[in-house]
Structure 1
């Protein structure tokens, strides 16, 4: 009985710790986007999450570590240590005819950009004055382009050239997403349709291949 009680209490503690960590990450994400890196303090994050500052440190880490984890969560959609390229939604891109694959890639791009593009912008701005964040930004950028290239190759079923990858990177990145959705007020459907059409057009895929 004593062992069962200890196990139950341990489970409750872990559940509470997970809940606190999730609250900290959600609070940090909201504040970073709303106030920027410099305008967000650890005390602000703690207050928004409803916990002590010490709890913020113990549940996630320092401010840089929080931004990194928040970005990771935004990209994949949860706090599990599974990269985007290993997720079911990424593997699903390769199924179907060309047009269907392009649409699935566009849908994933819209989802990932909607969750993470504004946070990527925060990181880029913060990196200008912080060497550690500059290194994080460089790794983040490389990871994003690797994922995008792999997604495009899942659509085409062949390796893409560097020129093709550069062209797609120029128009399908988070910066363009923010310009289209924030400044031009594009809806998710409009962005998804445009992104799918853009992949097909820039790769010069023949009509018979996509029908």
Structure 2
């Protein structure tokens, strides 16, 4: 008999929201003041919680940076999308999950991503964290290309490294920022463009027709 999945109770949901509020507060302050000039007390005041709540919910100030990246993954629903992408065998579906992951990252986590992206230019610690996020993105691109190879759908003559680099650039946060803020595209249009462009670039002619 399959084990029943329990839904989170009210206390768990409140704890998750508190953690999210702390991370958002830290992101805002790190952006405004820099990592070194932001204290745990400052974050607690911005999030309207006690200092002890920060330590019990997230951890030290240094751990907040890692928590930002983990929280982004959860908010964007990446673990579930990645699981489905790993199980997919249809090439277009595999690419579709890649496009959806980037769309949900930008649509749901814009404030956190903008904070990290901005602060990375002026704070070495956050720059390291942001670089970690970029590395995760490239790893996801490589995974998508690997899945296409596994089902025999990658276009002949296109090597995996080149394909992964193209996926990473086309589905990057920077691309979404430009589409949305500079060109006024909505997220549906962005996702559709990313998906169609990757299909045309990556898939063998037999698959794309």
The two structures have a TM-score, normalised by structure 1, of 0.70
Contact 2:29 2:43 in 1 (8 A): no
SS in 1 for 2:204: coil
- Quote the offset at 1:41 in angstroms: 5.8
Number of aligned residue pairs: 191
1:25 equivalent among 20, 23, 29: 20
Where does 1:63-74 land on structure 2 (aligned, <5 Å)? Answer: 63-74=61-72
Where does 1:107-146 land on structure 2 (aligned, <5 Å)? Answer: 107-116=100-109, 118-146=111-139
1:91-134 deviation digits (Å, cap 9, x = unpaired): 32252533333223212221123334553443344344444333
1:90 is matched with 82
Contact 1:17 1:59 in 2 (8 A): no
2:92 is matched with 99
Structure-2 change in CA distance of 1:44 and 1:146 (3 Å): same
- Quote the offset at 1:33 in angstroms: 5.2
Contact 2:99 2:195 in 1 (8 A): yes
Q: Which whole-Å CA distance do the structure 2 matches of 1:99 and 1:21 have between them?
A: 34
- Quote the offset at 1:21 in angstroms: 5.5
SS in 2 for 1:36: helix
1:163 is matched with 162
The two structures have a TM-score, normalised by structure 2, of 0.71
- Quote the offset at 1:32 in angstroms: 2.6
When structure 1 is superposed on structure 2, of 95-104 and 171-180 the one drifting more is 95-104
Alignment root-mean-square deviation, CA? 3.4
Larger radius of gyration: 1
Contact 1:101 1:155 in 2 (8 A): yes
| Structure 2 unmatched ranges of 5 or more | 1-8
2:183 is matched with 184
Q: Which whole-Å CA distance do the structure 1 matches of 2:97 and 2:129 have between them?
A: 29
Contact 2:27 2:112 in 1 (8 A): yes
| Structure 1 unmatched ranges of 5 or more | 1-13
Contact 2:94 2:147 in 1 (8 A): yes
Contact 1:105 1:151 in 2 (8 A): yes
